[in-house]
Each structure stands twice: as C-alpha cells, then as structure tokens.
Amino acid sequence: MVKCSAAIDRTFSALSDPGRRAMVARLVEGPATLSELAEPLGLSLPAVAKHLAVLERGGLATSRKVGRARVCTLAPNAFDEARAWLAAQRAAWEARFDRLDALLIEGGDET
Amino acid sequence: MVKCSAAIDRTFSALSDPGRRAMVARLVEGPATLSELAEPLGLSLPAVAKHLAVLERGGLATSRKVGRARVCTLAPNAFDEARAWLAAQRAAWEARFDRLDALLIEGGDET
C-alpha cells in the first residue's frame, strides 16, 4: 500500500507554481510584507495572499500581522523533507548503477 | 515578473502525490511494467496508467510497449532540476545566516 505523507504532498504541490517559487526565493533572503513580495514579482496583492496560504499549508512559510502589514517568513527547515526524499531517490538510483557497473566488471572478467 | 518554468512546475506537481512518489521509488530500482508497479503499491492498473502519464509529463519517467506490456523507466536526471532549485534556495538561506552571524560577531566585538 502507498503510505500517505500529506505534509510532503503539500510541500511539492506548493513548489509547483512559478509565483510561489519566486516568493520562496525572495523569502530566503529575509522576511517580507505582502507588498514587498508582490511588487518585484509583478503579482497582485490578492495573488500573493493566495499563494502565501498555499505556502503556509505546505510548511514553507509563516506569517504574522505587524501593525497593518502582514510579514511573511520562510519556515525553518522548509525544504528538509522534500530534499531528503529527492536525495534518497538519487542515492538509490546511484547505488543501482554501482551494482550494474560491478556486474559488468564481473562479466568482463569472465570473458 | 515571475519567470515561467513549466518543466519544473510539472516535476514538483508530479511529486505531490504519494502514489506517484511510490512509483518513482520503485522505478529507481529498475524498469517495471504497469502491473509490477500496481501490485506492490496496492494501486489499480488505471490509477497507475494515469499516474504514469503525469510522471511522463513531469519528465520523471518514460515508457514503451514491449509485446503486450508497457515498461516504465525512470528518466535519466529525473530530479536534477528540482534538486538544483532546492539546493540553490538552501545555499541562499545558509548564506543569509552566515551574514547574520558575521554581523552579530562584529556587533559583539564593539561592546
């Protein structure tokens, strides 16, 4: 059976949009208000607010009200689970080719 | 403006489902037919075929007909773009904290 992992589902899903990735790339540099995110990215405030909600559900960002502004911050360890999953697949893939290499070398010795 | 990157959008989107990630984790070990993918994962053949189409669009897998079976293979460098994007964000995030550390140490020297 397929194990569910709703958190990593939401992380990958949140990263599947170029606007949200651009917001993440901006937040990596430090916290920003919704307006500070919207302007340089050429996004409307409602679009940024909507993307922020998806990033928050995906565990990638948090936000808090400061006066009349909403300040967004990248979540600590935001990418760790996604990176670990990709790294594990990569390692398994490389291990497979190492085994194939070993088999080919063994086969070569026999000829 | 937000740069579009449809390929990486589709890769992250393809990885946002536990069934598709389980298929990828199986294909990392070597090629498999649709039936070989379906059975251990507890998925129906139509579900696997549908997931395969998403993985193919996401550049993660390829498939070909062999007799009456369809054999699926993980695409070479399947994760490279997604991994590179995550690694770049991680590096920028760490660089930011290194700069903050340096500022704190500088500030500490002045007291």
**Chain segment B93-111, per-residue pLDDT in tens:** 888 888 888 888 887 765 5
Please state, in angstroms and as integers, the Cα–Cα distance from residue B36 to each residue in A14, A83, B17, following that order.
Answer: 30, 27, 19
CA distances to B1, B3, B33 from B23, rounded to whole Å, are 35, 30, 11
Helix, strand, coil shares of chain A, percent, nearest 5, are 65, 15, 25
Q: What is the ipTM of this complex?
A: 0.85
Determine whether the interchain pair A15/B12 forms a contact, defined as Cβ–Cβ distance below 8 Å: yes
Who wins on pLDDT, B107 or B80? B80
Q: Do A90 and B82 touch (CB under 8 A)?
A: no
Give yes or no for B13 touching A (CB within 8 A): yes
Over the stretch A1-22, which tens digit does the pLDDT of each residue have? 454 478 999 999 999 999 999 9
CB proximity A98 to B under 8 Å:
no
Contact call for B12 and A9, based on CB within 8 A: no
Which pLDDT does position A110 carry in this prediction? 55
Count of Cβ atoms closer than 10 Å to residue A100 Cβ: 11
Q: Write out residues 42-71 of A within 8 Å (CB-CB) of B.
A: 42-43
pLDDT of residue B110: 56
pLDDT in tens, A41-97: 999 999 999 999 999 999 999 999 999 999 999 998 888 899 999 999 999 988 888
Q: What is the pLDDT of residues B11-66, one digit of tens each?
A: 999 999 999 999 999 999 999 999 999 999 999 999 999 999 999 999 999 999 99
CB contact under 8 A, B18 and A5: yes
CA B58, distance to chain mean position in Å, is 9
